[in-house]
Chains A and B, each alone.
Chain A
Amino acid sequence: DAGITQSPRHKVTETGTPVTLRCHQTENHRYMYWYRQDPGHGLRLIHYSYGVKDTDKGEVSDGYSVSRSKTEDFLLTLESATSSQTSVYFCAAGQSNTGELFFGEGSRLTVL
C-alpha cells in the first residue's frame, strides 16, 4: 500500500451523524484523492487535493467535504451521514508526472 494508511478501517454510524475519515501518507506525494467504491459503479472520485489547502471536487462530491492542512493528511468529512453514503472509501496518493496512484486499504462505512 506504499505508505498510505486509512482510519478507521470500519465504522458503523447512524443517519444524521458526522463522520470523518482520515488518510495519512508517508511518501510526500503532492496529490491525494478520495474515492468511493460501490458494486456496479466502480471507483468514483469524491474530492482530490493538489497541495496543502488546495482541493477540488470530483464526480460525486455532494454531501462530502475535505481538508488538507498538511502534505501527509487528507480528511474526508460527511457532515450529516445518509444511508446512500454507505460504501467503501479509498484514499489514494500520487505524483501526476509518474501517473501512478497508490491506494490505501479502504474504509468500510455503514450508515444505518
Chain B
Amino acid sequence: SQKIEQNSEALNIQEGKTATLTCNYTNYSPAYLQWYRQDPGRGPVLLLLIRENEKEKRKERLKVTFDTTLKQSLFHITASQPADSATYLCALVPLDNFNKFYFGSGTKLNVKP
C-alpha cells in the first residue's frame, strides 16, 4: 500500500538548535513534495515545495532536502524559536495525478526556551 510516514512522536528541542523532521514514502513516484505547518485549531499552511528533480530548497531559516533514491525528505529549521512550535505535515503529489495530495500524519515540534 502507499504510505507517507512521519515520526509520530513529538520532537522536543532547545531554542537556538536545529530541528530536523523526517518524511519517508513508499510506492509513490512523486512529482513534488511539500511541507506544511499546522497550528492547533487551524488549517495547514504551505511552507516549502520541492520538485522531484530538486535536491534542496531554502527559505529563510527553513531548508528541505529530497532524496528520491532513499524516498525521503528532511525538513530543517535552523536557530529554532518557541514560535516554531507546531505540527509539521509533509504531503506528496504523485506523477500520475497532479490533482491528488497525500499527507503524512505530522510531527509535533516543541521548542523550549
* Stretch of A12-20, A61-69, A94-102 at the chain-chain interface: A94-102
Q: A48 CB to closest chain B CB, in angstroms?
A: 6
Task: State which size class the interface on A falls in.
Answer: 20 to 34
Between A and B, 28 residue pairs with Cβ closer than 8 Å are A1-B43, A4-B43, A33-B101, A40-B8, A40-B105, A42-B6, A42-B106, A43-B91, A43-B103, A45-B101, A45-B102, A48-B100, A50-B99, A56-B99, A58-B100, A90-B43, A90-B44, A92-B43, A92-B101, A99-B32, A99-B49, A99-B93, A101-B44, A101-B46, A101-B91, A103-B45, A104-B43, A105-B41
Q: Whole-angstrom distance between the alpha carbons of A43 and B103 in the complex?
A: 6
B49 contacts across to A, CB distance below 8 A? 99-100
Contacts of B41 in A (CB 8 A): 105-106
**Interface residues as binary, B1-35 with A (CB distance below 8 Å gives 1, 0 otherwise):** 00010101000000000000000000000001010
Q: How would you classify the secondary structure of chain A's contact residues: helix, strand, loop or mixed?
A: strand
For the complex, what is the distance from the CA of A101 to the CA of B91, rounded to whole Å?
A: 10
Encode contact with A along B85-113: 1 for CB under 8 Å, 0 otherwise: 00001010100001111111110000000
A103 near B105 with CB under 8 A, answer: no
Q: Tell whether B59 is near chain A: CB-to-CB under 8 Å.
A: no
Separation of A44 and B2 alpha carbons in the complex (Å): 12
